[in-house]
Structure 1
Amino acid sequence: MRLEEIVGIVREYFSLALLAVITLGIILILIYFIVYKTILKGKKSVSKKRLLLLVMFSGYVIMVVGVTFLNRGPTYNAGMDFSLFSSYRETWNSFSVRHWQFIYLNIFMFVPFGILFPLLQPRFRKAIWTIGVAGLCTLSIESVQLITGYGNFVVDDLFNNLLGAIIGYGITMGFITIKEKGIKPSFFYFSPLLLVIILSISVFTYYHLKEFGNLSIVANNKVNMKEVTLTSDVEFNAKKATIPIYKAPSYTKAEADAFAETFYKRMDVDAADIEDISYPDQGIYRSSGEKSYDLWFQFLDGGYSFTDFSSHDEGIVPKDTDEESLKESLLKFGVDIQKDFYFQRVDTGSYEWIIDKKVSGNQLIDGSLTATYYNDHTVKQIENQLITYDKIKDVQIKSEQEAFGEILEGNFQILSENNRIDTLQVHKVRVSYYLDSKGYFQPVYAFQSTLDGSNMTILVPAI
């Protein structure tokens, strides 16, 4: 999710909250003056400060409801995750901006709750009251999301929301304490905020000082291996090996923009007609002129996906062709296919070139390119994931035996409810590669296996 989208969501529900608060305010004013003051002859008045706080809190509640429910449709992805800090492990392993955003947004969402609640009522200046009510509120949100299908019930969300409320409470009580007792006693209340800042800086500093990135294939939770029937068709070598590690070509935003401009220039599309929608890890470049095009470009390795929307025009349909004609059509896009790639037909008009980790000098070429040819003799869809990696250095890796030990410990990733399996049979093991979060093509062990009757390749980090 882009920052612009987050701001857009906040702006959208801020407008909704403002409209709802104005409507509610008018109703309450009418009740106060007509019913309470005129009919009941009431004498008590409401302070402007308290009224302002009530308005702010009402608007905040409406915004939270909008973001947690109205921003999603039913059957969003209903499920349950009771594993504490599993989202933190997933975020660390992938180390993507998107994952970090979800964690920090879940924390930040309840900071206003902690700030406003102690100001509404003196009793809520006691931590147990504010944190207790915050706990009930976030528990209710998670439960309703699960029941209605508007989201997941995630223990980590409860933790993050509570942490946000504690930070907000600490901010309010910290400033109150400064006013009443001075700066020194207030540090206790500001400590949750300071702790989160220090831990965040430490995590990001440690990550950037690491030589290599993190692997998303690392398990977030261990597989329960206690009652698993485990067999192997191979004997695992106990000797460690030394093999190369490679680096993918990474692109800055400016370099990606230049690639897109050159790509579209080949199709006579002016740079001024290109709409740029940028995410932290990819750029989307759209042209909506006389002809409409879409180009998705990955910053991490330079892979891209291209679509010419004239493929939806009447009478335009995929058509089979030969390899040489397809290669000639791809030259228009600056794509030059080498001779030693494996070529195959995928579907009508759709073809694929594949190369599996071919080493050439200090480079490794891996991936595939898919192109779809149409009856107007043009290519309108390209999925180019052919990546050329440069060798960085040789590294010592675990032995096959050590890697298999990770499987015995349940340190591998599967898509299974409760991370439970019954049977696992390993047929073969080989060294493969997997792209990490910093763009390094890291060695991993690939165990070709049968898991509960289904074929599966289990990946284990080799470094």
Structure 2
Amino acid sequence: MRLQEITSIIREYFFLALILVIVLGIIFFLGYFIVYRKLLKGKKRLSKKHLLFRGLFTGYVIMVIGVTFLNRDSYYPGGINLSFLSSYKEAWYSFSARNWQFVYLNIIMFVPFGILFPLLHSRFQKAVWTIGVAALFTLFIESIQLITGYGVFEVDDLFNNLLGAIIGYEIIMGFITIRKNRIKRSLVYFSPLMLVVILFGSMFTYYYLKEFGNLSITPNHRINMVNTTITIDDTQLDENKRTVPIYKAPSYTKASANEFVTDFFKRMNIDATDMEVISYPDEGVYWIRDEISYNIWFQFLDGSYSYSDFSSFDEDKEPKDGDEATLEESLTNFGIQIPQDAVFQKVDTGAYEWKVDKKVIGNQLIDGSLTVDYFNDDTVKRINNQLITYDKVKDVQIKSEQEAYKEMLEGKFKYNAENNKIETLHIDKVEISYYLDSKGYYQPVYAFYSMVDGREFTIFIPGI
């Protein structure tokens, strides 16, 4: 999610909260002046400071409810995730901005709670009040999400929300104690925030200093294999470690991706002067909106992309069959050269695919597929280019097949199993494959081609 999208959501529900606070304020004041002061002859005066804090807290609660419920559709199947810190593991192994956003936003969302709640009344400045009510509030949100289907009940959400409330509470209490000239006490209050900053800072520093990235195929939790029936074809698993190459994808920055897409459109004689660019942390979306609209989704990590020419939706346009030579000639207009020995096949009328399976040429590895849609005006209108040329970085030693097999038997692989259990596992064969890590390195992995509970599935075990 882009920063603009986050701020847009906040702005939308800020105005909703503001309107509702004004309405509730009008109702409150009418009740106070007409019912309490005039009819009941009440003498208690309102504190402007307390009214301000209560108004802010009410608006904050409305915003949280809006973000957690009104901003979603009820399409979740419901469920409970009791795997503690699984969101952190998912964010770490994929190391994608999107997954880290979920962690950060769940923490930040409850920081205002911790700041505002102690300001409602002096008794709430005791930690047990703020932390206790914050725990009940986040438990209420998660439970309602589960019941209504607007989300999944996750232990990590409870933890992150509560952590945010604690940070907010410690911040406000730190400033309160500073005003009372209790500097040492204030440092104690600020320590949770400093600890969180140090932990996250250390984690990110370690990540950026280590040589290779993380693999998203690494599991967040183990599969229960205790009662699994395991069979394997007549394959002798090697006990020796092996040395194999590791490769690097042609990763792009936002600037170099913009340059690539601009050149792509120039080859087609399309004016990219007014090109609309929507940049996400991991990808860019490019639009040319004219009489004919064009679109490219570009992945920064490996340079893969999908291209669409929206004239394909015109009434007089329809898919058309073409031969391989004609299609390859059309692709040269896009600057695309099909590697030799690529396997060509027809997928559907007008839809074709080229595949290359880990072909090594010198110090390069070509792997992946390219699909195109060809139309009756003799043009290619859709391209999905996942055919990547990787450059060799170095040779690395990887674990043996036996070691990888042992990890698999221990359930250390990623698989969405019902009740986290597998009944039957049959392994057809095992070979060394490759998987893109979070830094754009093409890492060696062991691929166990298997039948899991009667379904074909490839189990990946990291090689390094």
Interval of TM-score (by shorter of Structure 1 and Structure 2): over 0.9
Mapped to 2, the partners of 1:14 and 1:267 lie a distance apart of 45
Alignment partner, residue 229 of structure 1: 229
Name the aligned partner's letter for residue 86 of structure 1: S
Please identify, of 207-216 and 18-27, the stretch whose mean Cα deviation from structure 2 is larger: 18-27
Partners of 1:145 and 1:273 in 2: CA distance:
42
Counterpart-to-counterpart distance in 2, 1:426 and 1:337: 34
Residue 303 of structure 1: aligned partner: 304
Partner of 1:437 in structure 2? 438
- Amino acid paired to 2:310: F
Give the Cα separation in 1 of the matches to 2:300 and 2:146.
Answer: 35
- Whether the 8 Å contact between 2:246 and 2:443 is mirrored in structure 1 is yes
Who is 1:89 aligned against? Answer: 89
Q: Check whether the contact 1:247–1:392 (CA below 8 A) recurs between aligned residues.
A: yes
Partners of 1:130 and 1:284 in 2: CA distance: 43
Secondary structure of the 2:201 match is helix
SS in 1 for 2:105: helix
> Partners in 1 of 2:431 and 2:272 — Cα distance?
46
Spell out, residue by residue over 1:284-321, the C-alpha distance to the aligned partner (whole angstroms, 9 max, x if none). 00011111011001100100000111111112111111
Tell which deviates more after alignment, 34-43 or 353-362: 34-43
Tell me the distance in 1 between the aligned counterparts of 2:444 and 2:77.
Answer: 33
Question: What's the TM-score once normalised by structure 2's chain length?
Answer: 0.98
- 1:77, distance to aligned residue in structure 2 (A): 4.8
Q: CA deviation at 1:418?
A: 3.1
| 2-structure distance, mates of 1:328, 1:337 | 10
Task: Determine if contact 1:93/1:215 at 8 Å carries over to the other structure.
Answer: yes
5 Å-filtered alignment, 1:17-32, equals 17-32=17-32
Q: Which residue of 1 aligns with 2:461?
A: 460
Shift of 1:181: 4.5
Partner of 2:169: 169
Aligned to 2:335: 334
* Alpha-carbon distance between aligned partners in 1 of 2:170 and 2:461, rounded to the nearest angstrom: 43
Percent of aligned positions that are identical: 65
Report if the CA contact (8 A) 1:372-1:381 is conserved.
Answer: yes
Deviation per CA, 1:153-206: give whole Å up to 9, x if none.
Answer: 110000000000100110111111222252111122111111110001000000
The runs of at least 4 aligned residues of structure 1 exceeding 3 Å deviation read: none
Q: Does the 8 A contact of 1:273 with 1:289 survive in 2? A: no
User: 2:54 is matched with which residue?
Assistant: 54
The aligned residue for residue 279 of structure 1 is: 280
Q: Rate the CA distance shift 1:386–1:152 in 2: closer, same or farther, 3 A.
A: same
Once residues 376 and 175 of structure 1 are traced to their aligned partners in structure 2, the CA distance between those partners, rounded to angstroms, is 70
Mapped partners of 1:83, 1:66: distance in 2:
27
Q: Measure the CA separation in 1 of the matches of 2:170 and 2:357.
A: 55
Aligned length: 463
Gaps spanning 5+ residues in structure 1: where? none
Q: Which moved more, 1:278-287 or 1:40-49?
A: 40-49
Report the 3-state secondary structure (helix = DSSP H, G, I; strand = E; otherwise coil) of the residue aligned with 2:273. helix
Post-superposition offset of 1:121: 1.3
Structure 2 SS opposite 1:352: strand
CA deviation after TM superposition for structure 1 residue 345, in Å: 0.4
Establish whether residue 451 from structure 1 lines up as the match of residue 436 from structure 2: no
Q: What is the CA deviation profile of residues 335-376 of structure 1, one whole-angstrom value per residue up to 9, with x for unaligned ones? A: 122332110001110000000010000000001100000111
Q: Name the CA distance, whole Å, in 2 between partners of 1:436 and 1:316.
A: 40
Amino acid of the structure 2 residue aligned with 1:341: A
- Output the CA distance in 2 between the equivalents of 1:24 and 1:268: 59
| Equivalent position amino acid for 1:337 in 2 | I
Matches for 1:64-79 after TM superposition, within 5 Å: 64-79=64-79
- Indicate the SS of the match to 2:50: helix
Equivalents in 1 of 2:266, 2:201: separation in Å?
Answer: 42
Is the contact between residue 221 and residue 419 of structure 1 (CA under 8 Å) also seen in structure 2?
Answer: no
CA–CA distance in structure 1, aligned partners of residues 339 and 227 of structure 2: 50
- If the length of structure 1 is used for normalisation, what is the TM-score? 0.98
Where 2:252 maps in the other structure, the secondary structure is coil
Moved more, 324-333 or 279-288: 324-333
Tell me which residue corresponds to 1:151.
151
